[in-house]
Amino acid sequence: MVDLNIITGRKAYRFKVPESWEELDGSQLKHALLYKSAFRSAKAETEARLTLGVPRRVWRKIPPAQRYMMYADLLRFVIDETPSFRDNKIPVVRAGLRRLHGFDDMFSDVTWEEFIFADTFMLRQMYREMVTVLYRPANPLTGKKRPFSDKDLPRNSKRTDRLDETTVALLALNYRAVRKKAVEETNGYLFPSMEETYFDGKRITLGEEETQAPNQTSGWADTHHTLLGDLAYEEEKFLRSKATTIVAWINRKIKESREAERRRKK
């Protein structure tokens, strides 16, 4: 965070404002994405103010030209950088009267089976289905999120159907940003690429670059069965393992294989 000092007349105000995607909370994330989409429109200033967290009464006291120069500089990271962060900015959402709990930071509580379902839906641009996989109600007796089971998806989809399109879009972009950080930390050996996305408050629009290859939508299922090989009896163990453990192991094997190949070519 960085200090923002505003002096108007005889009064001085100090605010702590974000200087990276990592420092945004869930509400600021929404407004930052809206700001990015509306950068050259009249809505940009409102979204900038809400991203920075400056009260309207203070904001209005700043001359318009100074306001523009201030938020354009402070929010440069929103325009220039693709969202990437470790923590889930939207850990809980409300669907009707129910609270649905999402994944822990960097997918640390997500099983391999759960990740295969969620990421495959994301690659197929089925964002509401991804939310149905990862956001589930808590057990009323334990207070903990119910464990994932593909058999529960039809029932949980009735809950996530109550989420509006804005919420689904934000959850998808939040997921994409955490996924990007995971790709960065594993050197991207395994993860299929995802397109740049834009958010206008109602829907996600895919960019023209980095169009996915047709076979990427089934890549995780293929990877899973390749991993098992002749050890089909171990499938249940694999599916229940933490996704982070499996992905780290796969990436290590890929890295070792590539290094061995380079040595053979020398």
Question: What does the pLDDT look like over 142-162, one tens digit per residue?
Answer: 889 999 999 999 999 999 999
Question: What does the pLDDT look like over 108-134, one tens digit per residue?
Answer: 999 999 999 999 999 888 999 999 999
Question: What does the pLDDT look like over 203-258, one tens digit per residue?
Answer: 544 443 333 333 344 557 666 666 666 555 577 788 888 988 888 877 777 778 78
| Mean pLDDT, rounded, for 85-91 | 96
Question: What does the pLDDT look like over 157-212, one tens digit per residue?
Answer: 999 999 999 899 999 999 999 999 988 887 665 566 565 544 555 554 444 333 33
Question: What does the pLDDT look like over 65-83, one tens digit per residue?
Answer: 999 999 999 999 999 999 9
Domain ranges in the chain are 2-80, 83-266
pTM score of the predicted model: 0.83
Assess contact for 51 and 94: CB atoms under 8 A: no
pLDDT at 207 (0 to 100): 40
